[in-house]
């Protein structure tokens, strides 16, 4: 007798094909049969969904910042409640494996605004394989890992702004290859974050050659999403051409005033390269503001040497004046080559509770309250919060967001930071927003097409051999939702809100969400790429 049957249900299978009506049986964590409606007669449990409900593959978040949250809060309700059954972590070139004690000390402070800096977490892993083993001890969604290029550079070169030597590049290649052999699905970069941003194109190409050899993909946060965005994308596409490495342009946007309406130019670059045979895909989040740390706005030279060196420069009058010129007049490379528009920078979280009154306000508003220049608020928060402040950056354009999300290589990625009092609502609402706002309300995408963007297409990018579709024999990562009511409820004012319209979420055949309520079952696991077969399991 099979474990469970979704009976007489509309199935959207993740291929983009029209939905069909049928029975879907699940046994021992896998889809054991797909049959005509009401033809599977025996099961331990039958679920008859409400009229109009849809059974689809679980959503795959191609850009997640849950590297520590999966360990400190393995129930992972913000993501599992929106139907996410697999996440891709290790993003933006900075994460926690491979690592040594010295680099870990720097990273825990540098990206506390992304992941927090929990003092009660055992950071005893050192390799990618050991980190994936830690995930296997109990998480709710599945997780795939990207080797972070900035962390490799921190380990081998350090935090200084300089070119890597031949021997250092060789060592980074060795560490990258080891991570890929241990199960990572590719490599990420954060080319507006230190120290990864100090790598030149040749250094990146040397690493991409290794990624290509092992069948992974390269997921860069490019050098700019503002002034110079097209040139930054062109650099990454050039790497794909020269190395043969598959390229996935993560949180692919065209932001700031200089890029309003310019998404077609960006997509033309991609289409030309794809026509030549380059393997290029991308992901986006369905919102206008971005989210990062306040320290990310600093110019790269100011972050050279790591957090302590950056804080020392903020306290040095000469360096402080130079930083102020870069962010106010010349344009900071940390702010994508544009000058900082303080009215667009909204505080979303702080590391120190005494700064909580700043959360929800823009730096321009805080400056007006204090009667000082916004740049002085910038310096004050960086120093007092020890670089842990997170921000929303209101710099996106709706026409660009819509143009990019309909592209043939597009997938969904939340880019969600889960720390802070008022995180970006994409942490709780990305996938329901796609299906509710952009499918049902606006008709930008059809339902089956959008589900393909969120499931089958990312599964192909990840080389998942048995996920991303409702197929017999596939892992039972599934979501049951109501297309008529699914919607994000998270707002910028009240972001920690469960989406509506999602009834059940299953991971590896176990209910993670049942009747809208978390079950506490930790059925997820690390998904590892088998480099010899170039498939992910």
The predicted pLDDT at position 77 comes to: 98
The predicted pLDDT at position 531 comes to: 87
Structure tokens of 153?
Answer: 């550079």
CA–CA gap between residue 531 and residue 537 (Å, rounded) = 11
Beta bridge partners of 54: 10, 481
Reference 98, options 185, 198, 201, 176; nearest CA is 176
Whether the pLDDT of residue 125 is over 90: the answer is yes
The predicted pLDDT at position 72 comes to: 97
Residues 6+ apart with CB under 8 A from 193: 92, 93, 94, 150, 221, 296
Whether the pLDDT of residue 115 is over 90: the answer is yes
Beta bridge partners of 475: 30
Query: pLDDT tens across 310-362, in order?
Result: 999 999 999 999 999 999 999 999 999 999 999 999 999 999 999 999 999 99
- How far is C-alpha 36 from the chain's CA centre? 38
Question: Using CB atoms within 10 A of its CB, is residue 102 exposed (0-12), middle (13-18) or buried (19+)?
Answer: exposed
Q: pLDDT tier at 213 (50, 70, 90 boundaries)?
A: very high
Whether the pLDDT of residue 212 is over 90: the answer is yes
User: What average pLDDT does this structure show over 244-268?
Assistant: 97
The predicted pLDDT at position 420 comes to: 85
Q: pLDDT tier at 421 (50, 70, 90 boundaries)?
A: confident
Query: pLDDT tens across 186-196, in order?
Result: 999 999 999 99
DSSP structure class, residue 136: T
Whether the pLDDT of residue 59 is over 90: the answer is yes
Mean pLDDT of the chain: 97
463 within 8 A of 534, measured Cβ to Cβ:
yes
Whether the pLDDT of residue 527 is over 90: the answer is yes
Reference 99, options 26, 153, 173, 177; nearest CA is 153
User: What average pLDDT does this structure show over 101-127?
Assistant: 96
The predicted pLDDT at position 75 comes to: 97
C-alpha gyration radius of the chain: 22
Q: pLDDT tier at 217 (50, 70, 90 boundaries)?
A: very high
DSSP structure class, residue 119: S
CA–CA gap between residue 419 and residue 72 (Å, rounded) = 12
Structure tokens of 210?
Answer: 């290794």
Whether the pLDDT of residue 430 is over 90: the answer is yes
Q: pLDDT tier at 45 (50, 70, 90 boundaries)?
A: very high
Structure tokens of 533?
Answer: 């077969």
Predicted TM-score (pTM) of this structure: 0.95
Pairing label, strands 280-284, 410-412: parallel
Query: pLDDT tens across 218-238, in order?
Result: 999 999 999 999 999 999 999
- How far is C-alpha 6 from the chain's CA centre? 31
User: What average pLDDT does this structure show over 100-104?
Assistant: 97
Q: What is the DSSP string of 360-409?
A: T-BHHHHHHHHTS-HHHHHHHHHHHTTT--EEEE----HHHHHHHHTSTT
The predicted pLDDT at position 501 comes to: 98
The predicted pLDDT at position 118 comes to: 96
Whether the pLDDT of residue 279 is over 90: the answer is yes
Q: pLDDT tier at 498 (50, 70, 90 boundaries)?
A: very high
Whether the pLDDT of residue 405 is over 90: the answer is yes
Reference 78, options 349, 413, 416; nearest CA is 416
Query: pLDDT tens across 439-485, in order?
Result: 999 999 999 999 999 999 999 999 999 999 999 999 999 999 999 99
Distance (Å) of CA 509 to CA 311, 452, 529: 49, 21, 21
- How far is C-alpha 445 from the chain's CA centre? 21
């Amino acid at each position: 007798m099979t474990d469970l049957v979704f009976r007489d249900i509309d199935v959207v299978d993740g291929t983009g094909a029209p939905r069909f009506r049928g029975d879907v049986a699940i046994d021992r964590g896998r889809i054991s049969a797909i049959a005509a409606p009401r033809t599977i007669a025996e099961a331990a449990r039958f679920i008859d969904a409400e009229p109009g409900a849809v059974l689809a593959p679980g959503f795959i978040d191609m850009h997640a910042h849950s590297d520590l949250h999966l360990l400190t809060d393995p129930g992972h309700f913000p993501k599992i409640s929106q139907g996410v059954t697999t996440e891709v972590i290790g993003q933006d070139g900075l994460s926690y494996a491979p690592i040594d004690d010295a680099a870990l000390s720097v990273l825990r402070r540098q990206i506390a605004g992304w992941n927090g800096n929990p003092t009660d977490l055992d950071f005893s892993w050192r390799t990618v394989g050991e980190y994936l083993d830690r995930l296997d001890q109990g998480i709710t969604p599945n997780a795939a890992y990207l080797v972070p290029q900035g962390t490799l550079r921190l380990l081998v070169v350090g935090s200084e702004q300089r070119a890597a030597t031949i021997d250092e590049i060789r060592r980074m290649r060795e560490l990258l290859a080891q991570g890929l052999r241990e199960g990572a699905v590719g490599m990420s970069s954060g080319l507006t974050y230190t120290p990864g941003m100090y790598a030149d194109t040749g250094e990146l190409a040397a690493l991409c050659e290794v990624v290509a050899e092992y069948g992974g993909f390269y997921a860069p946060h490019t050098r700019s999403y503002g002034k110079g965005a097209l040139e930054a994308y062109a650099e990454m596409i050039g790497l794909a051409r020269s190395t043969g490495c598959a390229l996935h342009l993560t949180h692919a946007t065209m932001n700031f005033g200089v890029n309003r309406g310019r998404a077609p130019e960006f997509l033309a670059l991609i289409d030309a390269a794809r026509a030549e045979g380059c393997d290029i895909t991308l992901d986006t989040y369905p919102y206008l503001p971005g989210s990062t740390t306040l320290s990310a706005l600093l110019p790269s030279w100011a972050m050279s040497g790591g957090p302590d060196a950056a804080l020392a420069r903020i306290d040095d009058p000469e360096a402080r004046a130079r930083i102020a010129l870069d962010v106010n007049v010349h344009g900071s490379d940390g702010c994508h080559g544009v000058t900082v528009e303080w009215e667009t920078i909204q505080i979303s979280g702080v590391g120190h509770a005494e700064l909580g009154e700043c959360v929800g306000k823009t730096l321009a508003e805080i400056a007006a309250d204090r009667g000082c220049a916004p740049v002085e608020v910038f310096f004050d928060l960086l120093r007092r919060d020890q670089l842990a402040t997170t921000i929303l950056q209101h710099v996106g354009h709706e026409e660009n967001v819509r143009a990019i999300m309909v592209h043939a290589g597009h997938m969904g990625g939340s880019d969600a930071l889960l720390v802070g009092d008022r995180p970006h609502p994409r942490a709780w609402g990305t996938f329901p927003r796609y299906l509710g706002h952009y499918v049902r309300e606006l008709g930008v995408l059809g339902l089956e097409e959008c589900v393909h963007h969120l499931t089958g297409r990312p599964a192909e990018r990840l080389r998942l051999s048995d996920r991303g579709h409702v197929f017999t024999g596939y892992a039972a990562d599934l979501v049951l939702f109501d297309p008529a009511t699914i919607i994000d409820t998270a707002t910028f004012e009240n972001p920690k809100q469960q989406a509506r319209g999602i009834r059940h979420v299953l991971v590896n055949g176990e209910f993670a969400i049942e009747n809208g309520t978390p079950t506490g079952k930790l059925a997820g696991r690390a998904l590892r790429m088998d480099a010899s077969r170039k498939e992910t399991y």
